[in-house]
Structure 1
Amino acid sequence: MARHRQRLDPDFEIAIDDLSHDGRGVGRREGKAVFVSGALPGERVRARQTAKNRHFDEAVAFEVIEASPDRVAPRCAHFGTCGGCALQHLDEAKQIEAKARVLAENLARIGHVEPREWFAPIRDAQWGYRRKGRLSVRWVEKKGKALVGFREQDPRFVADLSECHTVIPALGRRIPALSALVESLDGRRTIPQIEFIAGDGALDGGTPREGGVLALVFRHLEPLSDGDRERLLAFARREAVAVFLQPGGIDSVVPLWPEQVDLHFDLGAADIGADVGVRLQFRPLDFIQVNAGLNRQMIARAIDLLQPAPGDRVLDLFCGLGNFTLPIARRGFEVVGVEGDAGLVARARQNAEANGLPNARFFAADLTKDLAGEPWLRDGFDRLLLDPPRAGAAEVLAQLPLKAIPRIVYVSCHPGSLARDAGFLVKERGYTLLGAGVMDMFPHTAHVESIAVFERR
């Protein structure tokens, strides 16, 4: 049977009443909700329908008839096409207010809880902050051009970027050079992505320079020719960036140039409230928090909310490289960090040893599975810190001996899973939600990062 293309309505005018969780304006047309990209609450726009669904429609605004006083001119010429940002057209102060509303609505609607106190938002650099991410790559045969950038709002396509203002400047200004580099390669059809990560270190063991070191990981689906390796090597030396090759999975990553790269980030003594700071070494594909300045403030806020007392033992779940674990240990507390990625656990242990912190111990465990046999779970803890992925921490919270833990700090990258877990802690485990607030880890995007603190009643 032939498949007919969905018939879309002609362009239409619509009033926008709200902002959705993904940064689109929300209006109603003939009683049906319409999500409109590029529109803000309080505006009237002309929109073009892009999708029709049973319960809602989708559209994109192409003309603003009545503008919101909160509308600003986007800094980036690619805004509206590139899917990397959703809120550049909204005043920065209003962006964080919108994220705070998303958190409050999720806590109320999903968790049926409200904090006693709303914390002031944590904010840092609004531009040039992103030090880790993935650029998609696509060779367009008809145009004879390589596209290097984030996915478009329509994720089937790669945005043709000439600049990016949210990534660190060392990467943002090199995007055209990366496109030209890929175009010059024999294997340009077989390179799907370039991952980037930046640290405070230096190339080839040299003196750390301002802005640190930028590492690029080129994923290639077929072996590279000798000529391609030479072109990548020349680019690395000319641009003074570290280049890695990834022919297969995560464990296949190898350096092209230089052979030794010092990738680390420092947390100063003042950042963590200690006499001495800590240094965390990482590998090119390891997870680190993308916003360095916000991360330092987040760690300070988490430790302050945790309120560990002398002699307390702290459990840090989903600990990664030890982003929270090591600063807490530097403050003199005994800390156990647990993480599902065995590679991250190995490097966390190396970081603890390198920083002289025997009071920080690390274990590898899948925190979504049965933990009955885990030795660390039999230890007693006085404080709990969680920084789970988007899915949240429901499985591990159901297994922990929470009656013995009077205080919990929960760092969240998804307000829906935080709300669900907050409802569990309050309704079923006897905790009070003392406070919650948002952290602007990803300015100009709709991503909502938050922190909450719970205390046993």
Structure 2
Amino acid sequence: MTQEADLTLRDQPQQAPPAGEFADGSVAIESVDLEGRGIARRDGKVVFVEGALPGERVKLKVIKRKPSYELAETQEVILASPQRVAPRCAHFGVCGGCAMQHVDPAAQVAIKQRVLEDTLWHIGKLVPQRVLPPIYGPSWGYRYRARLSVRVVVKKGGVLVGFRERKSSYVADMRECHVLHPHVAALLVPLREMVAAMPARDRIPQIEVAVGDDHVVLVLRHLIPLTEEDLSVLRQFAARHDIHWWLQPKGPDSVHPLEAVDADGLAYRLPEFGLRMPFKPTDFTQVNHAINRVLVSRAITLLDPRPGDRIADLFCGLGNFTLALATRCREVVGVEGSQALTDRALEAARRHGLAAHTAFSTLNLFEIDEGWLRSLGHFDRMLIDPPREGALAVAKALSAPGADRPKRIVYVSCNPSTLARDAAILVHEGGFVLRSAGVVNMFPHTAHVESIAVFEPGAPVPAKQGPGD
């Protein structure tokens, strides 16, 4: 069951040894970085240590030396953190799909919360007035989207299907995966056998996974035309394992279902808003459907839309937030860089009877300015959900002198560094206040930090010290 919990790193028991290096060559781990690596200091350098946790004392092996920092791996844990657990997956440490299975799931959330707070301070010199309870949920079987590499490797027994090895282009020899949707995880070995039986096996580089509420879709990327024998193998596999094949002979636009009847089967639901959101298997959707449902609900609660409001949803994609907002206000204007996505969002709005409450436009939001923003008219509230690059142009437009500022902005981020950069512009140049911020654990067992932040116009109170000061 997906939960919202009030949990911070300070709630977790710590066994912090003194900082620096010990006589036996071990080091004390002070914190973690954005990639989930432990941070230590010795000889005037920062040392990033893979596999180490805050509060631990570890022996390490240096794998790269630079003038100001070193990269290292944990060789031996001398003093273990109470947050350390045994990884569930036999492939952990080799497979690049996970980075934090050695950390208790609740502690992972707490660590990410501290990463968010530290990043907001170090990049933006900002401390949120309130730390939101983090959103977290099932730790296993949550990945409804994935891209699996396929390689024929004779030395390893034939075909490999799985994630790449950590820091490598090689495909991990995976026979199990505990973060993939269970239906898909059970297919790792059968997929190897299926590809091996296809004449085109040497020209199949990847299989993309897209799981909806009612369909499991696998997208086969093939570099040569498939023969009738290839297609027969795919159809037999689909019937045996209750999946649906889509084919990708070229770029993403070439994706199409093997069977025409499967064209409209892939969708996810937002039950709180009475929505069914259809998507194509290569469209961007959130990896974790359970967390997405809570995220949409939380974002709309924080935005607090009123029936007469006009709201902007920037980087709207398929309308994940747009359509839910349209059930609560007068009008939502969704803006997105992909025409295909805005077309599908508009179609979904029509299907749900929300066309009168929505409008969509296609535009590169990395190139907009204050004049464009003003041309759209007044917005009472605004939701921003950018990719990892953030929303720099939007933040600058909102912060320009004389800009028409909404009463509230909810910013959903998948990169704390770009969130902190944009937040600094909104606060220090635009006169907004960072009311609250908190993490969303969309990717358990990885170092990926998603978050949500709330801004309002007002007179900011200068932060005199950061969370770790």
Question: What TM-score, normalized by structure 2, do the two folds share?
Answer: 0.87
Distance in 2 (CA, whole Å) between partners of 1:304 and 1:18 is 33
- Of residues 61, 85, 89, the one that matches 1:72 is 85
| Letter of the 2:106 counterpart | A
The answer to whether the 8 Å contact 1:278/1:330 transfers is no
The aligned residue for residue 382 of structure 1 is: 380
Amino acid of the structure 1 residue aligned with 2:362: A
Structure 2: gaps of 5 or more residues: 1-23, 459-469
After superposition, the Cα gap between the structure-2 partners of 1:402 and 1:412, relative to the gap in structure 1 and judged at 3 Å, is: farther
The answer to whether the 8 Å contact 2:416/2:449 transfers is yes
Deviations 1:365-408 (A, max 9, x none): 11112468869943221111000001110112323474341211
Aligned to 1:129: 142
Q: What residue is the counterpart of 2:133 in the other structure?
A: 120
Question: AA paired with 1:443?
Answer: P
Structure 2: which amino acid aligns with 1:389? P
Shift of 1:279: 1.2
Residue of structure 2 equivalent to 1:346: 343
**1:316 CA drift (Å):** 0.2
Please say if 1:265 is aligned against 2:233. Answer: no
Check conservation: 1:71, 1:89, Cα contact below 8 A.
Answer: yes
Once the two structures are TM-superposed, the CA of residue 67 in structure 1 deviates from its matched residue by 1.8
Partners of 2:438 and 2:453 within 8 A in 1: yes
Q: Equivalent residue of 1:104, what SS?
A: helix
Matched residues, number = 430
- C-alpha distance in 2 between matches for 1:218 and 1:437: 37
1:441 maps to: 442
Q: Which amino acid aligns with 2:114?
A: R
The match for 2:236 is: 234
User: Are the structure 2 counterparts of residues 371 and 347 from structure 1 closer, same or farther at C-alpha, using a change threshold of 3 Å?
Assistant: farther
**Do the aligned residues in 2 keep the contact of 1:245 with 1:256 (CA within 8 Å)?**
yes
1:93 match: secondary structure: helix
Checking the alignment, whether the CA contact within 8 Å between 1:32 and 1:55 is kept in structure 2 is: yes
Q: Using a 3 Å threshold, how does the CA distance of structure 1 residues 35 and 372 change in structure 2: closer, same or farther?
A: closer
Question: Matches of residues 294-313 of structure 1 in structure 2 within 5 Å?
Answer: 294-313=291-310
Equivalent position SS for 2:409: strand
* Residue 248 (structure 2) pairs with residue 246 (structure 1): yes
Percent of matched pairs sharing the same residue: 50
CA distance in 2, matches of 1:32, 1:421: 29
How far apart, in 2, do the equivalents of 1:107 and 1:410 lie?
Answer: 13
Answer yes or no: is 1:37 the counterpart of 2:27. no
Task: Describe the shift of the 1:373–1:221 C-alpha distance in structure 2 as closer, same or farther (beyond 3 A).
Answer: farther
Q: 2:327 aligns with which of 318, 323, 330?
A: 330
Q: Do structure 1's residue 398 and structure 2's residue 396 form an aligned pair?
A: yes
SS in 1 for 2:156: coil
User: What 5-or-longer segments of structure 1 have no aligned partner?
Assistant: 1-10, 201-211
- Using a 3 Å threshold, how does the CA distance of structure 1 residues 435 and 372 change in structure 2: closer, same or farther? closer
Matched letter for residue 192 of structure 2: S
1:338 is aligned with what amino acid?
V
The 5 A counterparts of 1:217-232 are 217-232=219-234
- How far apart in 2 are the matches of 1:399 and 1:116? 24
The 5-angstrom pairing of residues 24-173 of structure 1 reads 24-173=37-186
Moved more, 411-420 or 150-159: 150-159
Alpha-carbon distance in structure 2 between the residues aligned to 1:309 and 1:86: 42
Per-residue Cα deviation, 1:67-102 (whole angstroms, up to 9, x for no partner): 221110111111111111111111111111110111
In 2, distance between residues paired with 1:300 and 1:231?
A: 42
Q: Does structure 2 retain, via aligned residues, the 8 Å contact 1:236–1:242?
A: yes
Distance 1:32 1:213, change over 3 A: same
Instruction: Report the counterpart of residue 188 of structure 1 in structure 2.
Output: 201
* 8 Å CA contact 1:386, 1:411 repeated in 2: yes
TM-score using structure 1 length = 0.90
Once the two structures are overlaid, the 10-residue window that deviates more, 53-62 or 385-394, is 53-62
8 Å contact from structure 1 (residues 437, 451) kept in 2: yes
Whether the 8 Å contact between 2:305 and 2:328 is mirrored in structure 1 is no
- The superposition leaves residues 260-300 of structure 1 with CA deviations (integer Å, 9 ceiling, x where unpaired) of 241111111xx34xxxx111111110111111111111111
The residue type equivalent to 1:398 in the other structure is K
User: d(CA) in 2 for partners of 1:389 and 1:312?
Assistant: 26
**Root-mean-square deviation over aligned CA pairs:** 2.0
Give the partner amino acid of 1:266: R
Give the counterpart letter for 1:313 in structure 2: R
Q: Distance in 2 between matches of 1:116 and 1:297?
A: 22
Contact (CA 8 Å) 1:236, 1:257: kept in 2 or not? Answer: no
